[in-house]
Structure 1
Amino acid sequence: MQQFWEFFSFADANIRYVTLGSVLLAGSSAVVGCFTLLRKRALVGDAVAHSVLPGVCLAFILSGTKNPLILLLGAFITGWISLIVIDYITSRSRIKEDTAIGLVLSVFFGIGILLLTSIQHSGNAAQSGLDKFLFGKAASLVGEDLIVFGIVAVLLLFTTILFYKELMLLCFDQAFARTIGFPVRALELLLTTLTVLAVVVGIQAVGVVLMAAMLITPAAAARFWTENLKVMLVLAALMGAFSGITGAFVSYTAPAMPTGPWIVLIISMIAILSFAFAPKRGWVARLMRQRRNRALILEENLLKLLFQLGELKQDFETSRSLSDLLERRSIPKRQAIHGLKKLKQQGYVKKKKKRWILTIEGEKRGRRVVRLHRLWELYLTQYLHLASDHVHEDAETIEHIITPELEKRLMEELNYPELDPHSARIP
């Protein structure tokens, strides 16, 4: 607890630099990463992250100093060139984008490693610490680095806000943007520049190896929680900022733990939790929906079955045994018993001496399912010209998802029919 209060009091200047730098890095990268993710160019961040290393090395060789602005300028230039090369290869050859990204990533990174090795063997005393661009070292951030981080973060966020409408249209409907006169190529270059800036700033904290995770992971996690782009941007920024603070705190409480990898690990944990527990798109929610849908289909099939048995002799007052139902339709016995018990709880069926009978509400619901089944069969035969013996299976599936609005439209399109393709009455 003492370490907690020491850290979050921000009395130590080094804590302030590391924490604020990590927050600015993670938050601004996440915002740009949202647009990269939506454009289905997630691997671009990885390509840029590996392509900045030769720029850092060349900037050091030419300047002879480790001035952050000079090194980041060199990183920006080679990172930007790498994206231009990817676009050029993709547009001028039959090579697909993922292959082009792999080619550019490996070539640029290989050149960077060669230059870094050459520098390490040159005997230049100023080269010490240059390898932190490879693996990152957020714990060594100082006030000068923080100023650079702050300027770039403000620039990224301001540009995103200023061109929000244009970038959104570029992500969701590029053809429409071009049709209405938007400068699509210029917008692509702008987004490329923002991506490179985000990566260039981040490599000093987490390195070229992990920077792609900082760009894409918060955006991927936020995407699971919302369908609204504005909300997605805010969520991604908050998730990134939280991972930055938490990673810095873990590194402070356990000095042997590096800050950058912990930031990536925490945002990855947030992403995993999002993938699993997001209310609409998460894995658990999807499983629950599937379970509810299976239960709904079972219940409606049982109601339809009871209605059809009563329809044979227009006798809905006679109770039916479980064997009567299973003889007419192949349903696992345990599932049928469970479904009937649930229908009884809902008031759709009644049980009399181990036999089942529809209630008034159950008869209405069963009648509707039968009507939808027969309407869809008739629609397939009349409008798609399918044979009457080929429409049953499709109707078995679609009858459970037809809405009242679609049901009304079907009735109107078919002119309120009385018989289905098999000459059975449509109730």
Structure 2
Amino acid sequence: MEAWLRALTFSTGYNTSLVTLGAMLLGASAGMIGSFILLRKRSLVSDAISHATLPGLAVAFIVMALLTGDGRWLPGLLAGAGISAALGLWGVQGISERTRLGEDAAIGAVLSVLFGLGVVLITVIQVMHTGGQAGLTGYLVGATAGMLAAEAHLIGLCGLLLLVAIFMLRRQFLLVCFDAEYAYTNGIQAQRIDMLMLLLLLAVTVIGLKVTGLILIVALTIIPPVTGRFWTDRPLHMVAIAAICGALAGYLGVTLSSVHTGLPTGPLVVLSAFGLFALSLLFSPRRGIVAMLSAHYRFKTKVHLRQGLLALARREAIYDALTLRVLRRHGYIRRDHVPTPSGKAAARDADHEEQLWSLYRSLYPDEAAHLDHLGLEPIGNCLPPDTVTTLESCLPLSPRVAS
């Protein structure tokens, strides 16, 4: 625990702190571009891109190993991964646009073929008489323990540039995500913006190979945007929350992996992102499970209170236990189920409200059909005062009005 606290406060050394900052920038970039990909309903494309990096990674390693004796030069590996990912993206686009197959079928075909080719090449590398094969497996699940300072600088710089590029293009991305035709009327080419989105996604995927690995980088582009969706309905706010969640996931994952050398970075980053997602799923005030259960309980209580008051007004017997508990809690009945004076007054008010709502439904059926929870809220809170006055004048003289 003490070692993790030192890592959280950037007190474990220059290289670890640099890797942590790079992972945070990468997580923020992945969260931002993933938000636009999610809004565009193309999240599975990131899965195809990530798996398509494996053969390029293996080919780059083989070429550099044959030329220099060591194939672990990070820029060369990232370049090879980027080329194969671009080919995979081109394959998905070509299949989905030039054939009758949907994008999901194209993703499945490209993903399986390229990943299978990558596995074969990894097997070839393992029998080669060259060093560094063990370090190559770190690109599958992420590995930062042996990362050099120059590699950390490269990841951090690329993450920062990606973050700036996504921030500058955020408005064009949003227009295309929600209304491509309207974006075209504003001089924005939807196909070009789509390609920019995918290229930035490709860049995030390639840069994240060393941190989270090619298998799990897709999670970093999906989980933070989904987490942000729990907290807001506004797209730019969702993008900002996704960036924060992605950065926090990278921060927690890398610091946890730095505590023990055997802990893989990628799974810990993904588990950290999932932890944030689980907290949002449970406690989000908009769509969280706790908030939904609380809203359902309040709605059910309101229904039982309304029905109980109407039963008191009509002098009907009440047998439902929850209705009796709600009425007792509000002080409308005694323990022997006899109405209190306040309960009688509330029952008269509820009966009068019900008459007004019934009259409104009969006089204005179209308008009434668009109101939610009709009859559960006071009619004065839902309708204009002049409409309420008109309804009052149309009611026959009731004991409540006469009193």
The TM-score normalised by the length of structure 1 is 0.80
Which residue does the alignment assign to 1:44?
A: 45
Which residue does the alignment assign to 2:321?
A: 334
SS in 2 for 1:140: coil
Change in Cα spacing, 1:5 to 1:279, as seen in structure 2 (3 Å) is closer
* Residue 53 of structure 1: how far off its partner (Å): 0.8
Which residue does the alignment assign to 2:284?
A: 278
Matches within 5 A, 1:150-165: 150-165=156-171
Matched, 1:70 2:76: yes
Tell me the distance in 2 between the aligned counterparts of 1:404 and 1:87.
56
Which residue does the alignment assign to 2:361?
A: 376
* Residue 205 of structure 1: how far off its partner (Å): 1.6
Identity of aligned residues (%): 29
Letter in 1 for 2:248: F
Change in Cα spacing, 1:403 to 1:114, as seen in structure 2 (3 Å) is farther
Which residue does the alignment assign to 1:317?
A: none
Which residue does the alignment assign to 2:153?
A: 147
CA deviation profile, 1:219-278 (whole Å, cap 9, x unmatched): 211221222333333322222222222223322333332222111111111111111111
Which residue does the alignment assign to 2:68?
A: none
Letter in 1 for 2:354: V
Matches within 5 A, 1:14-413: 14-64=15-65, 65-125=71-131, 127-307=133-313, 309=314, 320=315, 324-326=316-318, 332-344=319-331, 349=332, 351=334, 354-356=337-339, 358-380=343-365, 398-400=374-376, 404=380, 407-408=383-384, 411=387
* Residue 141 of structure 1: how far off its partner (Å): 1.8
- Given that residues 306 and 366 in structure 1 are in contact (C-alpha distance below 8 angstroms), is that contact kept between their aligned partners in structure 2? no
User: RMSD of aligned C-alpha atoms?
Assistant: 3.3
* Residue 417 of structure 1: how far off its partner (Å): 8.9
- Given that residues 376 and 399 in structure 1 are in contact (C-alpha distance below 8 angstroms), is that contact kept between their aligned partners in structure 2? no
Between 75-84 and 210-219, the greater mean CA deviation after superposition = 75-84
CA deviation profile, 1:315-352 (whole Å, cap 9, x unmatched): xxxxx4xxx234xxxxx5202211221343xxxx4659
Change in Cα spacing, 1:394 to 1:16, as seen in structure 2 (3 Å) is closer
Tell me the distance in 2 between the aligned counterparts of 1:352 and 1:252.
63
* Residue 188 of structure 1: how far off its partner (Å): 0.3
Tell me the distance in 2 between the aligned counterparts of 1:277 and 1:86.
38
Tell me the distance in 2 between the aligned counterparts of 1:197 and 1:216.
15
The TM-score normalised by the length of structure 2 is 0.85
Change in Cα spacing, 1:168 to 1:339, as seen in structure 2 (3 Å) is same
Q: Which has the higher contact order (CA 8 A, sep 6+)?
A: 2
* Residue 202 of structure 1: how far off its partner (Å): 0.8
Structure 1 gap segments, 5+ residues each = 310-319, 327-331, 385-390, 421-426
* Residue 286 of structure 1: how far off its partner (Å): 0.6
Tell me the distance in 2 between the aligned counterparts of 1:143 and 1:151.
12
Letter in 2 for 1:13: Y
Tell me the distance in 1 between the aligned counterparts of 2:174 and 2:37.
11
Change in Cα spacing, 1:52 to 1:117, as seen in structure 2 (3 Å) is same
Tell me the distance in 2 between the aligned counterparts of 1:60 and 1:396.
62
Letter in 2 for 1:33: G
Tell me the distance in 2 between the aligned counterparts of 1:48 and 1:25.
16
Tell me the distance in 2 between the aligned counterparts of 1:417 and 1:117.
86
Tell me the distance in 2 between the aligned counterparts of 1:363 and 1:416.
15
Tell me the distance in 2 between the aligned counterparts of 1:15 and 1:145.
12
- Given that residues 356 and 392 in structure 2 are in contact (C-alpha distance below 8 angstroms), is that contact kept between their aligned partners in structure 1? no
Change in Cα spacing, 1:404 to 1:181, as seen in structure 2 (3 Å) is farther
Tell me the distance in 2 between the aligned counterparts of 1:396 and 1:26.
41
Change in Cα spacing, 1:205 to 1:396, as seen in structure 2 (3 Å) is closer
Change in Cα spacing, 1:353 to 1:285, as seen in structure 2 (3 Å) is closer
Task: Count the aligned residue pairs.
Answer: 389
Letter in 1 for 2:89: L
Tell me the distance in 2 between the aligned counterparts of 1:113 and 1:352.
74
Change in Cα spacing, 1:302 to 1:134, as seen in structure 2 (3 Å) is same
